[in-house]
Structure 1
């Protein structure tokens, strides 16, 4: 059963497809974002706000979110625990 994880501003991601949730501050993550943007595999769910989380999915797509990684991880954990 797949669950949709709320990542802010009425945007959702399939929880089962998430590989990792990262902060966008490091140079390697910034390069990964730039590469995904060039190849068209980026989904910007920030609505113009500052990117606080980078969600890497199974299909090599990257989702940018305005919520912190801690908030998204907490929501995922709450979904798992009921």
Structure 2
């Protein structure tokens, strides 16, 4: 299995193979997930102090906060996946 990497902004990169979901941080259940991840030391804040716009949930239960839109992250995920298939 090839390692695919996704840029989530400000030079931060996550493994695309480990991503389960890319969601908006607005809903109460997602805010709860962020709080629980912070308490368990599984939260990775890659926003550089900016507003959180995307929450990336991985298969290892890590939660990554990004300052770019979920649609942008998803687009990069799809474009990266398509370029590997070609």
Q: TM-score, normalised by structure 1?
A: 0.98
How large is the Cα RMSD of the aligned pairs?
Answer: 0.4
Distance in 2 separating the partners of 1:41 and 1:19? 15
Per-residue Cα deviation, 1:10-63 (whole angstroms, up to 9, x for no partner): 000000000000100000000110010011000000000000000000100000
Gaps of 5+ in 1: none
Instruction: Tell me which residue corresponds to 1:67.
Output: 68
Aligned length: 82
Unpaired segments ≥5 residues, structure 2: none
Return structure 1 stretches of 4+ with deviation > 3 angstroms: none
After superposition, residues 16-55 of structure 1 pair within 5 angstroms as 16-55=17-56
Larger Rg: 2
Alpha-carbon deviation of 1:81? 1.2
